[in-house]
Amino acid sequence: MAQEENLADCLLVGDKSLILSLLGKLDPNHHYSFEIVDVGSDLVKAAEMSVQLVNEGKGDIILKGKTDSGLLLHCVLDKEKGLRISPVISDVLAYEHPEGVKLLSDGGVNIAPNIEEKIAIVKNAVEVAHCMGSSQPKVALLAAVETVNPKMQSTIDAAIISQMNKRNQITGCIVEGPLAFDNAVSLEAAKIKGIESPVAGNADVFIVPNIEAGNIFGKLLTYYCGYRVAHVIVGTKAPILIPSRADPGELKMLCMAMALTCMQE
Amino acid sequence: MAQEENLADCLLVGDKSLILSLLGKLDPNHHYSFEIVDVGSDLVKAAEMSVQLVNEGKGDIILKGKTDSGLLLHCVLDKEKGLRISPVISDVLAYEHPEGVKLLSDGGVNIAPNIEEKIAIVKNAVEVAHCMGSSQPKVALLAAVETVNPKMQSTIDAAIISQMNKRNQITGCIVEGPLAFDNAVSLEAAKIKGIESPVAGNADVFIVPNIEAGNIFGKLLTYYCGYRVAHVIVGTKAPILIPSRADPGELKMLCMAMALTCMQE
């Protein structure tokens, strides 16, 4: 699909004989050309080689195949040979909402980020928004409520990060939080709660406080809303794509397109 | 609305003069009859009186008005005068999915429940499912992944609770977890991940690991999916309704209808 769309050339890293047998199942009437990088059947070697190809300038994006995300990310995060360039790597999901493309982070990598990790997650997502053409994205820091509650860490962290934005410690965006989801997407709901902010009711970027909230949010978009989604791991020398094996081919294509956009800055 | 639908009689607890001025704004062509319980303008007294009315058998449901949920729940949870009858009170949300009514818990009360609290949340939700006509509900314990990961408490707790269900320590339902949202709602996604369970792809009840995941899930259903939702706090002598002030009147009506259903067992 990527070749047909002239989107990317592909290096296939793995067990050459297995790859050739899979390629044999493709439409024989279409001419495909793939470079195969044979590393045998060891998935660790495949991950290491993929990272190495990026470091050698031979690869621009890594797309996970039938391997474990944890295994791939372990190689990506290797301190000596890895690809991390930001304090934190994070997953940024883009979805086609009827009002425009929105971003969501992080439902894929950081399990229960602390305040410093959340700041990095915001910065990574804002960079992606810039690449996608939004010069001053409106970032909502989501919690279950819009009031600061000392018993809810998500509301405390959101208040801190919002204030850091007002002090220009986080730039290129307007950050507001804590916001409940309704206050972030509905002007009416924000108004009833007395929230005055350009972000309220108009958020472009949604930052969730934990991986479960983000993962459920992202999967509802696909399975309940029917929106098209794509997601990319950023904070690395090259975008890393870890779609689920259960995701359709089209989603993997959209991830590739999003990754190409992220590389433009 | 509740009177017009012959759904409930209402005791209005609060500041009598304020209540009368609000009642003056109702359609004068319609005959309404309300009993007003005057407690002056103190919201704490209004909450305490509402709880007392339930304890005296004069009230069957408490519907929050323009007051703070925390304040009301504080009175509900009072050890001497309160209404708690289950180890944990929890919020159960019902939504009208095209395939049928589904339940979600807990996006409203328990911030970061521990394993014992999660077990109580499951049991409370299962009781609601029984009241709503599902004798053996299929319960999905949601996490961000479907594999048990020692670094993700949500997956550990889900594995434990699933196994407790298999040992008949939690009955009247089929529990499965950890499941990611896609495995819980899509047979295809479950199949690709090799998950064999009657719950996979067919969940009736979704249990989330933290309040943010549940709150965002619930609000997406309203603001993105356009589904009708209602939610009720259970585990108490009377159902407690804490709709947001930003919620429309219809939602408060649906909450009342759901509460009446929950009282039938």
What is the enclosing helix (H) or strand (E) of A101?
Answer: strand A100-105
pLDDT score of B2: 86
pLDDT score of B264: 66
Q: Which residues of chain B register pLDDT less than 50?
A: none
Helical ranges in B39-186 per DSSP H: 43-55, 69-76, 115-131, 153-166, 181-185
Partner A contacted by B226 (CB < 8 A): no
Which residues in chain A have Cβ-Cβ distances shorter than 8 Å to B91? none
The answer to whether the complex's ipTM is over 0.90 is yes
pLDDT score of A264: 66
* pLDDT for residue A245 is more than 80: no
Over the stretch B130-188, which tens digit does the pLDDT of each residue have?
999 999 999 999 999 999 999 999 999 999 999 999 999 999 999 999 999 999 999 99
Tell me the pTM.
0.94
Cα B236 to chain center, whole Å? 12
Whole-number Cα distances in Å, B145 to A95, B149, B155, B185: 20, 9, 8, 14
Tell me the CB-side half-sphere exposure of residue A123, using CA atoms within 13 A.
19
Are residues B189 and A246, on separate chains, in Cβ contact within 8 Å? yes
Which residues in chain A have Cβ-Cβ distances shorter than 8 Å to B220? 181, 217, 220, 224-225
Which residues in chain A have Cβ-Cβ distances shorter than 8 Å to B222? 182
Over the stretch A22-78, which tens digit does the pLDDT of each residue have?
998 888 887 788 899 999 999 999 999 999 999 999 999 999 988 888 899 999 999
**CA distance to partner chain B, nearest, from residue A214 (Å):** 7
Substitution target from B104, B216, B219, B228 for chain A, most A beta carbons within 10 A = B216
pLDDT score of B19: 93
pLDDT score of B115: 98
**CA distance to partner chain A, nearest, from residue B98 (Å):** 10
Nearest-by-CA chain B residue for A189: B246
- Give me the residue from B107, B192, B246 closest to A193, CB to CB: B246
Are residues B246 and A186, on separate chains, in Cβ contact within 8 Å? yes
Over the stretch A74-123, which tens digit does the pLDDT of each residue have?
999 999 999 999 999 999 999 999 999 999 999 999 999 999 999 999 99
CA-based angle A251:A254:A255, to the nearest 5?
A: 90
Whole-number Cα distances in Å, B217 to A29, A39, B199, B256: 46, 42, 19, 21
Interface of B with A in 19-58 (CB under 8 A): none
**CA distance to partner chain A, nearest, from residue B57 (Å):** 33
Are residues A212 and B213, on separate chains, in Cβ contact within 8 Å? yes
E strands in A108-192: 138-142, 174-179
Computed over every residue of chain A, the mean pLDDT equals 94
* pLDDT for residue A235 is more than 90: yes
Which residues in chain B have Cβ-Cβ distances shorter than 8 Å to A185? 223-224
- Of residues A75, A62, A83, the one with CA closest to residue A241: A62
For the ranges A131-140, A211-220, A244-253, which has the lowest average pLDDT? A244-253
